[in-house]
Structure 1
Amino acid sequence: MLILNTHPDHDKALDPADAETLSLEEARTVERFLQHRPNHEPTPLHALDNLAKELGVASIHIKDEGFRLGLGSFKALGGSYAVIRLVLEAAGRKLGQPVDISDLQSPAVRKIAETMTFGCATDGNHGKSVAVGARMVGAKAAIFVHSGVSDERVAAIAQYGAEMIRVEGTYDDSVAEAERVCRENGWTVVSDTSWPGYERIPSLVMQGYTAMLGEALRALPQPPTHVFIQAGVGGLAAAVAGYFDIVFGDKRPKFVVVEPERAACILESARVGHPVKVEHGEATIMAMLECYEPSLVGWRVLSRKAEAFMTVSEEDAAETMRRLARPKGSDPAIVAGESGCAGLAGLIRAAGDAEARAALGLDGNARIFLINTETATDKARYEAIVGTAPDKVLETA
């Protein structure tokens, strides 16, 4: 399913707060902070030339965030960045002087960080990022996980010293519980979704994502004409759409938001013209995208800067995982988790539909940019879907 953006705000300027969050100046700060992270190096940008020829477009490039900071997903950039910023700001207030990233490991800053606890709800990747950020600065982390988060993903977060708190229900239930418990205990919520009165910290999380976009634009041979990005609550999609709008202005690429059919809160919001919460039904394999209510900040950006909204099926995602693992021709093998390849699944679905191709202008001149947002964060589930262990796929890459 694909619908075009008919919102009255479409093509209007970004809200001033969002324009500041996603500005080039702030993006440079994110990249400067990133230089102080262990294991930092730019993630690969792959050209899928054979697939581009098959789909009848000029080029396809995919940024592979499965290698980001050894944490397996793009979210390594968001939650931990927000934690670091919040610790530095708290230290600056208490010490009465400016505090920068180079001061992060100083005894005075560490002493302040030790008094702080950061909490969040997660499907897996965001919680890992917050836990790693807290561990880096010497703070504590409390991570809330809902019923659908696998034991493997819980263990992957717990290894960083976080307190793990199970919550019955969906991701949205865990968000509400995290907010309640953190408020009662005086902890700081570092959420990747926003709600009325809670916008700045999710904006910092979004800001952290801009680092990979600067890397991608420096590596791309030409600017993209189309971007297909997957969405859960919409934070990543909004970060990409807003940042590219700032960089390219009226020459920005056409932006398509891709969601699972079973959790399409942003598409439904676009359909009715305002943010809505959709009903929870059968779970999707795209667990990192299983969100039922959009981020208000994310929606504010996407209602202005997305050209279209679409959904993909469970089999679309599974088949795209297999296709990336066993590519044709000279295309590289890529390990993409169930949610990681949803943007590409959307492109393949749109390219195979004459009406969607025409609506989006997907022709022989189209240059597509995508992000593989995660590697196999649940290896057993990946092997069950793809039929090959992720390590074996990487051996052929």
Structure 2
Amino acid sequence: MLILNRHTGHNGPLDPRDAETLGVGAAAEVERYLSHRNNHAPTPLHALPALAAGLGIATLHVKDEGTRLGLGSFKALGGSYAVIRLVLEEAERQLGRPVDVAELHTPPVRAIASGMTFGCATDGNHGKSVAAGARLVGAQSAIFVHAGVSDERVAAIARYGAEMIRVDGTYDDSIRESARVCAANGWTIVSDTSWPGYERIPGLVMQGYTAIIREALRALPQAPTHVFVQAGVGGVAAALAAYLALVLGKERPAFIVVEPARAACIFASAQAGEVVKIAHGEATVMAMLECYEPSPVAWRILSRAADAFMTVEEEGAVAAMNRLARPLGTDIAVVAGESGGAGLAGLLAVAEDHDMRQAIRLDAGSRVLIVNTEGATDPERYTQLVGVAPEMVLRTAI
């Protein structure tokens, strides 16, 4: 199901706060911070010409975040970046002077970080990023997970030294509990969603994501005409849409936001013209996208910079995982987790539907960019859904 953006602010200028947070200068600063990470390298951009031909488009490229900073997903860019920024800001406050990222591992800064605890709620990937960032700087972390987060994902976060706190209910319940406990204990909450009075830190998380599109635009032979990006609360979609709007202006590509049909809170907000919280229903296989209320900051951006909103079904997400694992022709194999291939699932659905193709002007000349937002962050689940272990898929890609 696909709808066009009919919001009155569509194609209007971004809020000045968002333009400052997600523009060229901020993105360049993110890359400077990343240059101080020992395991940083731009993630691959893969061309899939055989799949593009089969879909009746000119080109298809996938930005593969499955290797980002050794954490397996794009979330590695957001939570850990925000933690580093917040530690440096606290160091500046306590030391009474400017403190650069080059000083991150100096004894004075690490002593300050050791007295800080960072908390967040997560479906898996964001919590891993916050925990990894805390360990990197010598701080503590407390990660809140809801009932639907698998034991394997919990264990993957705990390996970074985080205190793991189980919360009954949904992701939204874990957000509320994390905010309550962090406030009570004086911990710093690093959420990837916003709420009234709490926007700056989610903005820093989103700022980290600009590295994805900055790297992609640098590597692409031509700017894309269409971009399909999946959304949970909307952070990564908003970050990429904002950067494209700010950098390319009227030449920006059509931007399509893709969500699970079972957790389509941004789609519902687009229908209503304002932030909508939807009812919790049956769980989706796209576990990292199972969110029931958008981030207000993300919606503020997407209402202006997104062009269409669509939903995909469960079988579509699994089909996308399998399509990437078993490529056509000489296309490279890509390991995409359950949520990682949702953008491709959206493209596949549009490509097969004449009306949807026409609605977003997808044709034989279209140059499409998608983002594989995660690798096999739950290898056992990946193997169940694809029928082959992720390491075997990666061997075929070499």
The TM-score, its normalising length taken from structure 1, stands at 0.99
| Structure 1 residues 186-224: Cα deviation after superposition (integer angstroms, max 9, x where no partner) | 101100000111000000000001112111111100000
Q: Tell me what 1:316 maps to.
A: 316
The Cα of 1:228 is off from its aligned counterpart by 0.3
The SS at the match of 2:278 is: coil
In structure 2, distance between residues paired with 1:227 and 1:239: 13
1:42 is aligned with what amino acid? Answer: P
> Where do 5+ consecutive residues of structure 2 fail to align?
none
- 5 Å-filtered alignment, 1:181-260, equals 181-260=181-260
Q: For residues 24 and 280 of structure 2, what CA distance do their matches in structure 1 show? A: 38
Distance 1:4 1:43 in 2: 31
Counterpart mapping for 1:31-50 below 5 A: 31-50=31-50
- Once the two structures are superposed, the pairs formed by residues 1-397 of structure 1 within 5 Å of their partners are 1-397=1-397
Q: Aligned to 1:145, what secondary structure does the other structure show?
A: strand
Q: Secondary structure at the match of 2:238?
A: helix
Supply the distance in 1 between the matched residues of 2:61 and 2:323 (Cα, whole angstroms): 15
Measure how far apart 1:294 and its partner are: 0.1
Shift of 1:106: 1.0
Q: Secondary structure at the match of 1:160?
A: coil
Q: Distance in 2 between matches of 1:255 and 1:217?
A: 15
Letter in 2 for 1:125: N
For structure 1, list consecutive stretches of 5 or more residues without a partner in the other structure.
Answer: none
Equivalents in 1 of 2:244, 2:380: separation in Å?
36
Query: Counterparts of 2:100 and 2:167 in 1: how far apart (Å)?
Result: 36
Distance in 2 separating the partners of 1:214 and 1:10: 23
- 1-structure distance, mates of 2:213, 2:228: 14
4+ residue stretches of structure 1 with deviation over 4 A? none
Q: Which amino acid aligns with 1:11?
A: N
Matched AA of 1:168: D
Report the alpha carbon displacement of residue 286 of structure 1 after superposing the two structures with TM.
0.2
Q: Counterparts of 2:209 and 2:302 in 1: how far apart (Å)?
A: 16
Any idea what the Cα deviations from partners look like across 1:64-110, whole Å, max 9, x if unmatched? Answer: 00011111000000000000000000100111100010011111111
Deviations, residues 234-278 of structure 1 (Å, cap 9, x unaligned):
000000000001110111000000000000000000001000100
Distance in 1 separating the partners of 2:231 and 2:319: 19
Q: CA deviation at 1:38?
A: 2.1
Counterpart of 1:286, as a letter, is: M
SS at match of 1:340: coil
**Letter paired with 1:248:** L
**Whole-Å separation in 1 of the counterparts to 2:220 and 2:374:** 20
Give the whole-Å Cα distance in 2 for the aligned partners of 1:13 and 1:212: 22
Q: Residues of 2 paired with 1:309 and 1:211: CA distance?
A: 23
Percent identical among aligned pairs is 69
Q: TM-score, with normalisation over the residues of structure 2? A: 0.99
Distance in structure 2 (CA, Å) of the matches to 1:42 and 1:224: 19
Residue identity opposite 2:311 in structure 1: T
Counterpart secondary structure, 1:141 = strand
Matched AA of 1:336: A
- Letter of the 1:113 partner, please give it: A
Q: What SS class does the counterpart of residue 282 from structure 2 fall into?
A: coil
Task: Report Cα offsets for 1:106-136 as digits up to 9, x if no partner.
Answer: 1111111111100000000000000010001
Q: Which amino acid aligns with 1:5?
A: N
Letter in 2 for 1:140: Q
| C-alpha distance in structure 1 between counterparts of 2:88 and 2:382, whole Å | 38
Aligned length: 397
1:327-366 deviations in whole A, cap 9, x for unaligned? 1111111100000000010001011100000010000111
Q: What is the alpha-carbon root mean square deviation over aligned residues? A: 0.5
